[in-house]
Structure 1
Amino acid sequence: MAACAFVALGVWQVHRLHWKHDLIARVNARVHAAPVALPPSRQLASEDRQAHEYLRVALSGSYQPGQTALVRAATDLGSGYWAMTVLVTRDGRKVWINRGFMPDDATPATARRTVPSGPVEVTGLVRIDEPGGSLLQANKPALDRWYSRDLAALSTSRHAGETAPVFVDAQKETAKEPAGVTLPVPGLTVIRFPDNHLSYALTWFALAVLSLFGIFLAWRRAGRSLA
């Protein structure tokens, strides 16, 4: 019966609503928590990496300017690029860092010139890999055109070797910055979860009521025709 199907879909949306609100609460708690150490790469790779997304972490080490790439971005500051650079931590791990937003006229060469040459400390949010490209455009490594933060492809392109299976969106970077260059703008991570489940649930329940009303009208007409 259609009404039963509509009710089942409405109940499912209610469950999704509770799940989404729980997710938003957990993410908000992570984003505003004190930074912690980045979990080991083996742990990040073996567990559900979404369980670590938006975890606030602190890292220290040195950037590798030659392992820098620009990835297409659309932000509140307009269209441009994310400046991605590999950080080698003090314990030897390699982690891609999204240092922040650069405008449309940026080039990989200008991005490399913004990279500090000495020790650096980064506080930021863990993000999960974005393989393949964007919804509309595939990455083109041979042309050095990137539309998503595809860590494996970026690492291969920049001969970075094995890197962490996640990257970090920088919120704050502490280092001796190069003089006379426009630095990437950090802290632009978009944390937005569509939350339309209540309206979807109400729509399904309304359809269920309409279906039952239609059945009632059909039954009533049938009763009159037999009278």
Structure 2
Amino acid sequence: MKNFVSPFIFGFGGVLILIALGSWQIQRLSWKQNILSEIELTTTATPRELPGNESKEKNQYMPVVTNGKILNSEIHVLISIKYKGPGYRVISAFDLGTRKVLLDQGFIPLNAKGNLSKSWQADVIGNLYWPDEIDSFTPKPDFTKGIWFARDVAEIAKKLGTDPVMIVAKSISPQRPEVIILPITPERIPNNHFQYALTWFSLALVWAGMTLYLVWRIRYTKKKLRD
């Protein structure tokens, strides 16, 4: 009997831990779905004029409508999107007359990077957004090539001489023909908690199976030795 104690403790403990991790991901899934529902309600509300003194805490995802001049001073953020492959987000300075903000126009393919447009007047509908895309692994911008690797609103604003406020376009009229607008939608926000939960529960099942097999092997070996 003593030979079975350690495998049972090790196996049962491992299964409990893996089930707990899977259950935690289910809880996270529910939390994330509530967050995405709130984001959808916010992003689809009636657009308003920029309120002034905008901040991430008060105005994240706020829908706005405005008119101004899209300037040809822009930076390019390297990204990849489904079915299109690698390319760049085009973020421009947007002159509203009394102030300048950032405008995320959308996606261009890699070979369109050098096609700078002249400044033009446009009507814009979009959402205010301060993304969290910077971590310790994010490369520094390549200022020589004008390539960035994340939307760092504060630093891009310094580079382009605007307020640290960014509008992610939902519509631009008129629009650059080569740009694919990437509006903020809940579908674009990762929500992989169900897959994570499935992984943990699957590992728990495998762990339980391995434990039963180990117990069987110990029992089988002992029986053979007795025989």
State if a TM-score over 0.5 links the two structures. Answer: yes
Pairing 1:148-159 to 2, within 5 Å after superposition: 148-158=150-160
Residue matched to 2:71 = 65
Structure 2 unpaired stretches of 5+: 1-12
Residue matched to 1:100 = 106
Structure-2 change in CA distance of 1:136 and 1:23 (3 Å): same
3-state SS, counterpart of residue 111 of structure 1: coil
Residue matched to 1:87 = 94
Structure-2 change in CA distance of 1:197 and 1:130 (3 Å): closer
Kept in 1, the 8 Å contact 2:14–2:204? The answer is no
3-state SS, counterpart of residue 75 of structure 2: strand
Structure-2 change in CA distance of 1:33 and 1:213 (3 Å): farther
Task: Give the Å deviation of 1:217.
Answer: 5.8
Kept in 1, the 8 Å contact 2:47–2:64? The answer is yes
Task: Give the Å deviation of 1:191.
Answer: 0.8
Task: Give the Å deviation of 1:154.
Answer: 2.1
Structure-2 change in CA distance of 1:171 and 1:126 (3 Å): same
- Farther off after superposition, 7-16 or 59-68: 59-68
Residue matched to 1:128 = 130
Structure-2 change in CA distance of 1:77 and 1:13 (3 Å): closer
Structure-2 change in CA distance of 1:209 and 1:154 (3 Å): same
Structure-2 change in CA distance of 1:38 and 1:204 (3 Å): farther
Residue by residue over 1:139-195, the C-alpha shift from the partner in whole angstroms, topping out at 9 and shown as x without a partner, is 12244222322223322333x05422xx222111135x7xxx745332465714243
| 1:82 aligned partner, one-letter code | R
Structure 1 unpaired stretches of 5+: none
3-state SS, counterpart of residue 184 of structure 1: coil
Residue matched to 1:202 = 201
Structure-2 change in CA distance of 1:32 and 1:80 (3 Å): same
Residue matched to 2:30 = 18
Residue matched to 2:116 = 111
Kept in 2, the 8 Å contact 1:3–1:212? The answer is no
3-state SS, counterpart of residue 188 of structure 2: coil
Paired positions, count: 208
1:140 pairs with 2:156 = no
Larger Rg: 2
1:169 pairs with 2:171 = no
| 1:138 aligned partner, one-letter code | K
Kept in 2, the 8 Å contact 1:72–1:148? The answer is yes
CA RMSD of aligned residues (A): 3.9
State the distance in 2 between where 1:111 and 1:211 align.
60
Residue matched to 1:29 = 41
The percent identity for this pair of structures is: 17
| Equivalent of 1:185 in 180, 188, 195 | 180
Residue matched to 1:74 = 80
| 2:34 aligned partner, one-letter code | D
Residue matched to 1:9 = 21
- TM-score calculated relative to the size of structure 1: 0.67
